[in-house]
Structure 1
Amino acid sequence: MKKILITIIGVISLSVIALLLLGNQNSIESLAGCEDNEELKVYCNFMNPEDLALTPDGNFLIVAEFGGMAPLVEMTSGELSLFNIKDKTKYKAMVNFGENEWGSDNCFRDPSIPFGPHGIDLVQREDGRLQLAVVSHYPNESIEMFELIKKDSWVLEWKGCIDVDGKYYFNDVSLDTSGNFYASHMFDSDFSLIDALWNVFAKSDTGMAVKWTQDNKFEELQYTSGSFPNGIALVQKNNHLIVNYNLGDKSILFDLDSKQPIGIYEHNSPDNVVIQDGFAWVTNHDHSVLESLGCGKAVNCTLPFSVNKLSLLDLSLVKSYKFKSKNMGVGTVGLPHDESLWIGSYHSDRIAEGNLSLSE
């Protein structure tokens, strides 16, 4: 009976994968130029600007330019950059290397090797300093810590790292004010593209949220287990944690004290989550995996997405901002600021600016 069941599951899996691959025949057309439309203003010359953070003066976006992440795509480096919101210019972030103050004692970084940024988070620490945490996939899996310092312009000083290579595949990170963090472990090291395609339907648990403390201890929060944990955000004031499950098609608000879910928002393929202006802003992919496979090697994956403004009490929907994304790659993060909604993408050469006065 067991062999029969395994055979049936195998046949179903192969059928699903074949169906998905057949759906890859309709490729996405390349974008010509860097043109605004009635929906989005766009600013180009980025490489997959997957996540964004706002500097305290409100004048700059910190941009995580995503290279790649094994085993799902080719592993390549990326970089951290800054975008001037006032004059709409981009430049590479200046990174100086300081002492390993905020990382683990056994983690080291060669200054000559580039980073591989993915999810990022910026907080003001209890001591008043500004700490930026960066999930990095290059050359190995790590969390990199920086201090954001205002001189003539904003600069970053490397302050240490946490080596998780061979242990975790993190997607996103969220700091507390003491320098500890929560991160979303997506899947184990033997996870493959076939596993990802199968989980579009099976939605089995592939990972969970992990807490790291400055004594270099990891705590796996098993009660947060789900299908492809993605964006993560700590709600500082009441010790709650938001976790987005990209293949599970839901966002869950957890009470870290009771270890219980206290809110759920169900929506296709949630990516990053930003806490801003007293709300959670979750970006969702409003398209199927079949459609995303059509992106192939296109620089911009022009597929629809939405940014959803949710209550921090229970993740109930407050407003939804929907985008057809005809001049932009599929959104992965939406950051509201001064009546604009700044949007990044894991598959694009541009960031976008939407209008907060326009909602569903």
Structure 2
Amino acid sequence: MYLVDAAEKSWSILYPGEQAHALQDRERYGACPGAPDPAKLVTHGLYIRAGDAGRSTLYVVGHGGREAIEVFSVDASGTRPVVTWTGCVMMPEGLAANSVAALANGTLLATIPLPPGKTIAEAMKENLPGAVYQWSPGDRGFTKIEGPDAHFPNGIELSANEQEFYIVSGSSVVAYSNTRPARLLRNTEPLAFGPDNLHMGSDGQLLTAGMILDYPACAKIGGDADFSFEAFANCPRPFIVAAVNPKTMEVRQIADGPANPVFSNATMVLPVGDELWIGSFFSDRIAYRSRH
């Protein structure tokens, strides 16, 4: 994981760094087999819950060596944040999470884009259903939430009162009740781009970003078209950043960008001051631009 200084436009390695700090919370994460191998750990889908006195909890989708949600404490009370691994929740056998969200009580919701044994290429052609899984402190492991039957569920976010959760399903953003089973509440129309991650802005709007998938310079996606992940990732596409009103599901475009061979595959956006910071699933850099 990397630490980005938005003011200086610089980065440094946050974890594992020169020494990976680990102190397992065995009361909450006793079923976790121990800290991940830092040499194998691959992270994405970060979700942070702010705490008191500069301390927060960071939840990370982890691959490489094992499939798990990795949990870290973050101490930002000093001049530089310090990250300590505190536990994990293993994913069920054969499942790989994409994104995670955490409730105040420590409950985790994780999106699972693919059924066991299936590939992205198969999902693109067969419209395979994914799922949302839940784990709460004291549970033996993740269990599937009945209700959502989404196509390639991706980003996930919670309402401020935790009564609803939102996921990206295909090219739409969908709202569900945070009940068991979950009930479909409302959804956007299919968007003109492929939304990916979801983040709740300070104004209560859901923020998402993604590529324009139907782009003539790149291969067709979906239907009977053969899908190559390598070809998909290596063909630059324009991107769009949008805000979604979670109460009305009205979508408002707030930024866009052209196809760029240096930065492509946009998947997420975070507002930082007067700037938008845009991430990618297949790039060696982060983009930023003015919000205006």
Q: 2:176 aligns with which of 241, 254, 263?
A: 254
Return the offset for 1:165.
Answer: 5.2
Whole-angstrom distance in 2 between the partners of 1:260 and 1:314: 16
Whole-angstrom distance in 1 between the partners of 2:34 and 2:44: 19
Partner residue in 2 for 1:274: 199
Partner residue in 1 for 2:257: 323
Partner residue in 1 for 2:274: 339
Query: Cα distance 1:127–1:104, how it changes in 2: closer, same or farther (>3 A)?
Result: farther
Partner residue in 1 for 2:164: 240
Partner residue in 1 for 2:34: 108
Return the offset for 1:104.
Answer: 4.2
**Please, which runs of 5 or more residues in structure 2 have no aligned partner?**
222-226
Return the structure number with greater helix share. Answer: 1
1:146/1:156 contact within 8 Å kept: yes
- Pairing of 1:280-359 with structure 2 (within 5 A): 280-288=206-214, 290=219, 296=230, 301-326=235-260, 327-357=262-292
Whole-angstrom distance in 2 between the partners of 1:287 and 1:128: 40
- Indicate the SS of the match to 1:198: helix
Return the structure number with greater strand share. Answer: 1
1:124/1:177 contact within 8 Å kept: no
Query: Cα distance 1:168–1:126, how it changes in 2: closer, same or farther (>3 A)?
Result: farther
Deviates more, 1:106-115 or 1:300-309: 106-115
Q: Which amino acid aligns with 1:252?
A: V
Deviates more, 1:284-293 or 1:320-329: 284-293
1:120/1:135 contact within 8 Å kept: yes
Return the offset for 1:127.
Answer: 9.9
Return the offset for 1:194.
Answer: 3.9
Query: Cα distance 1:318–1:141, how it changes in 2: closer, same or farther (>3 A)?
Result: same
Pairing 1:219–2:143 present: yes
Whole-angstrom distance in 1 between the partners of 2:116 and 2:258: 35
- Pairing of 1:189-200 with structure 2 (within 5 A): 189-199=116-126
Q: 1:173 aligns with which of 83, 93, 100?
A: 100
Query: Cα distance 1:104–1:226, how it changes in 2: closer, same or farther (>3 A)?
Result: farther
Pairing 1:142–2:63 present: no
Return the offset for 1:260.
Answer: 2.4
**Please, which runs of 5 or more residues in structure 1 have no aligned partner?**
1-79
Query: Cα distance 1:193–1:174, how it changes in 2: closer, same or farther (>3 A)?
Result: closer
Pairing 1:121–2:121 present: no
Q: 1:263 aligns with which of 186, 189, 203?
A: 186
Return the offset for 1:123.
Answer: 0.5
2:114/2:128 contact within 8 Å kept: no
1:47-95 deviations in Å (ceiling 9; x for gaps): xxxxxxxxxxxxxxxxxxxxxxxxxxxxxxxxx0011011111100044
Q: 2:79 aligns with which of 145, 152, 155?
A: 152
**What is the percentage of aligned positions where both structures have the same residue?**
20
Deviates more, 1:221-230 or 1:120-129: 120-129
Q: 2:21 aligns with which of 96, 104, 112?
A: 96
- Indicate the SS of the match to 2:219: helix
Return the offset for 1:212.
Answer: 0.8
Whole-angstrom distance in 1 between the partners of 2:134 and 2:229: 34
Query: Cα distance 1:269–1:353, how it changes in 2: closer, same or farther (>3 A)?
Result: same
Whole-angstrom distance in 1 between the partners of 2:245 and 2:208: 11
Deviates more, 1:326-335 or 1:122-131: 122-131
Query: Cα distance 1:323–1:111, how it changes in 2: closer, same or farther (>3 A)?
Result: same
Return the offset for 1:238.
Answer: 4.5
Higher relative contact order (CA 8 A, sep 6+): 1
Q: Which amino acid aligns with 2:125?
A: W
Return the offset for 1:291.
Answer: 5.5
Return the offset for 1:300.
Answer: 6.2
Q: Which amino acid aligns with 2:240?
A: S
Calculate the TM-score normalised by the size of structure 2.
Answer: 0.84
Whole-angstrom distance in 2 between the partners of 1:175 and 1:334: 19
Q: Which amino acid aligns with 2:131?
A: M
- Indicate the SS of the match to 1:223: coil
Q: 2:8 aligns with which of 82, 87, 97?
A: 87
Whole-angstrom distance in 2 between the partners of 1:126 and 1:224: 34
Whole-angstrom distance in 2 between the partners of 1:99 and 1:114: 19
Count the aligned residue pairs.
Answer: 272
